[in-house]
């Protein structure tokens, strides 16, 4: 699907496919170097293209997962996805993650991607989505609030960056 961002850039949002692996590896190196809101430090993403291909194939084959990419032309500018579990007691639920290149933040891309993820979870008959976010990532928290996610708890000292611990907020949405 094509969307227009607040700066008039037209982007494409679609499912990631195996042939995206090389560009995804490059994207992960770039976004992890840019952001301190993601789990990995620069250099901690160590997947090879072949490992990324296997990850993508596993995700594509899973009835409990989704992995999207947003593109500006051929450039990956965001990734997002969710994964769940096949165990019956927790099969109704998925956990999500999202990343956006710094240059494309605050342009409405996060909302576009999140709305698509929610719609896909509903198609898979999921009834709960959850996520974790740094308590000081106020822009992301605001987005999640406006999409109906609620604060469910705090993981104290859940994140360590720049030699300090930061709490993580657990948020969830009933679908």
pLDDT (tens digit, 9 = 90+) per residue, 26-53? 999 999 999 999 999 898 899 999 999 9
Q: Are 121 and 159 in contact (CB under 8 A)?
A: no
What CATH superfamily classification does 2-126 receive? Gcn5-related N-acetyltransferase (GNAT) (3.40.630.30)
pLDDT, position 34: 95
Q: Are 137 and 97 in contact (CB under 8 A)?
A: no
Alpha-carbon distance of 47 to 53, in angstroms, equals 9
pLDDT, position 128: 98
pTM of the entire structure? Answer: 0.94
Residue 16 DSSP one-character state: -
Alpha-carbon distance of 67 to 69, in angstroms, equals 7
Domain boundaries, the chain: 2-126
pLDDT, position 54: 97
pLDDT, position 49: 97
Alpha-carbon distance of 131 to 162, in angstroms, equals 22
pLDDT (tens digit, 9 = 90+) per residue, 79-131? 999 999 999 999 999 999 999 999 999 999 999 999 999 999 999 999 999 99
pLDDT (tens digit, 9 = 90+) per residue, 160-169? 999 999 999 9
């Amino acid at each position: 699907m094509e969307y227009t961002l607040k700066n008039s850039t037209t982007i494409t949002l679609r499912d990631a496919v195996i042939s995206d692996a090389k560009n995804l590896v490059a994207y992960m190196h770039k976004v992890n170097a840019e952001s301190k809101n993601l789990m990995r430090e620069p250099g901690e993403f160590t997947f090879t293209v072949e490992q990324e291909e296997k990850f993508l194939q596993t995700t594509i084959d899973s009835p409990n997962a989704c992995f999207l990419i947003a593109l500006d032309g051929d450039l990956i500018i965001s990734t997002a996805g969710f994964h769940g579990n096949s165990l019956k007691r927790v099969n109704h639920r998925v956990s999500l993650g999202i990343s956006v290149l710094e240059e494309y933040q605050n342009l409405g891309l996060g909302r576009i991607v999140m709305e698509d993820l929610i719609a896909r979870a509903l198609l898979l008959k999921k009834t709960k989505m959850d996520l974790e976010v740094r308590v000081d990532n106020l822009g992301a928290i605001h987005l999640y609030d406006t999409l109906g996610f609620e604060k469910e708890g705090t993981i104290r000292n859940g994140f360590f960056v720049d030699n300090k611990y930061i709490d993580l907020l657990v948020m969830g949405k009933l679908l």
